[in-house]
Amino acid sequence: MIKELYHGSSEIIEKPLYGYGKSYNDYGLGFYCTDHIEMAKEWGVSRGRDGYANCYELNCDGLKILDLNAPQYCILHWLAVLLENREFDVPSGLALEAKEYLLTNFGIDYENYDAIVGYRADDSYFSFAQDFINGTISYRQLNNAMHLGKLGQQFVLKSRRSFDQIKFVGAEAAESDKWYARKMQRDMTARREYFSVERNRRKRGDLYITQIIDEEMMANDSRLR
């Protein structure tokens, strides 16, 4: 199966290099892509700097792909991977306990996969995850918040094999004046909807991180589905 992927960058990247990049990205070291060329254009620009959406074809045959949206996983598996790679502020004992609990009980051996599919934790999504481990929002609110702003999924190449099976097919220019404004608008929309719709709307029976820890909930708990 051939999959079309796009990578936003300030440069044209004809040959993605295995072993390069930032180890503190969402899913660790890897080559981060998206299914949508418009999203890649937003990722590829910054204020006052144009960029590119690099276009690729990935031969998925034989690749072991971890899909964090698959039925056997919940949002806490995604959060555990994020906690392993990103720098979270853990100002309280609860946040530290939550981090340890999620890593122990929802951690995934994701480095054994060739590629990962999952949410992208930009600034707004990262703040939603931070609120959850601090006990500010519920499990339901976290799930709902991840769909605000329509930031989409990312597809991350992790193994040498996956890098060997990706082929560059071209690049499209992205103008900063257009695509940076769209990126900022998407983030602001997510934040505005979060604060106006989700953050302050607790519902009776909402599940918080304290209850998840106290009741020692595991991934097969029906309340996490």
- Note the pLDDT of residue 187: 75
More reliable by pLDDT, 9 or 148? 9
Residue 108 has pLDDT above 80, yes or no: yes
Q: Are 209 and 136 in contact (CB under 8 A)?
A: no
Residue 8 has pLDDT above 60, yes or no: yes
Is 192 strand, coil or helix?
Answer: helix
Token pair listed for 122:
């930009």
- Note the pLDDT of residue 34: 94
Token pair listed for 192:
């505005």
Residue 80 has pLDDT above 90, yes or no: yes
Residue 172 has pLDDT above 90, yes or no: yes
- Edge-to-edge strands, sheet with 65-67: 31-33, 153-157, 115-119, 65-67
- Note the pLDDT of residue 31: 96
Residue 193 has pLDDT above 60, yes or no: yes
Overall number of domains in the chain = 1
Per-residue pLDDT, averaged over 186-192, amounts to 74
Can you give the residue range of the structural domain that contains 95?
A: 2-224
Residue 198 has pLDDT above 70, yes or no: no
Residue 215 has pLDDT above 90, yes or no: yes
Distances in whole angstroms, Cα of residue 30 to Cα of each of 107, 126, 143: 18, 19, 25
